Amino acid sequence: MADDFPPLARSDRESVVARDDKLELRVWLRLLTCANLIERQVRAGLRETFDITLPRFDLLAQLDRAPDGLTMSAISDRLMVSNGNITGLVDRLVAESLITRAPSRQDRRRARVKLTPAGKRAFDAMTPAHEAWIDAMFAGLARQEMAQLLDLLGRLKRSVQEEVPTDRRAKGDPS
């Protein structure tokens, strides 16, 4: 799969930006470029070092932080992908005994998913490398710059959430 991706090039998502473009559009495309670049490196690192896909790693990471397990809808919220995409992922990790799914009698979506001890060990073996890759990619920023970036992204996150049309807002997750 590594060869399937283009090498890092001088052109990227930002190539669409003209000098006279609005600041909002320029920030958005640079943000997207950074996210794409970092995600691509993490994806490649996980594949090359641990032979695991990014969605699997992301799911294990969410479950590692939830000792009581998570419902399918909570996983879907946290990974920000559809329930349909989660179902197959969970099925495969259950088949490999990395996670368990305790069904709910009332509602399939309320089945609780948890890490098994084997899943926990597999995840713990990957976290130091994952953290080292992220650290290395941020090495060009001073701590103060990272803190500033965290703050500005927090403002942006709130701004985006306030702008969401009412019918797409959270209706309260029962999980």
42-61: which residues touch its own copies (CB under 8 A)? 44, 58, 61
Check the CA dihedral 69-98-136-38 and report its sign.
negative
- Min separation Cβ 15 and its own copies, Å: 5
| Residue 3 to residue 97: CA distance in whole angstroms | 30
Radius of gyration of the chain (CA): 19
- Segment contacting its own copies (CB under 8 A): 73-81, 94-102, 111-119? 73-81
DSSP string over 3-26: GGSPPP-S--GGGG--TTS-HHHH
Told to check if 139 binds its own copies by CB under 8 A, we report yes
Q: Is 97 left (phi over 0), alpha (psi -120 to 50) or beta?
A: left
Query: Which residues within the stretch 148-167 sit at the binding site for its own copies (CB under 8 A)?
Result: 148-150, 152-164
Between strands 112-115 and 70-71, the pairing is: antiparallel
Told to check if 32 binds its own copies by CB under 8 A, we report yes
- Residue choice 19, 20, 51, 65 for contact with its own copies (CB under 8 A): 65
- Min separation Cβ 126 and its own copies, Å: 13
Told to check if 112 binds its own copies by CB under 8 A, we report no
Told to check if 102 binds its own copies by CB under 8 A, we report no
Q: Which is closer to its own copies, CB of 8 or CB of 95?
A: 8
Q: Which is closer to its own copies, CB of 36 or CB of 97?
A: 36
Q: Which is closer to its own copies, CB of 77 or CB of 92?
A: 77
Asked whether 102 and 69 are in contact (CB, 8 A), the reply is yes
| Residue 151 to residue 16: CA distance in whole angstroms | 27
Told to check if 97 binds its own copies by CB under 8 A, we report no
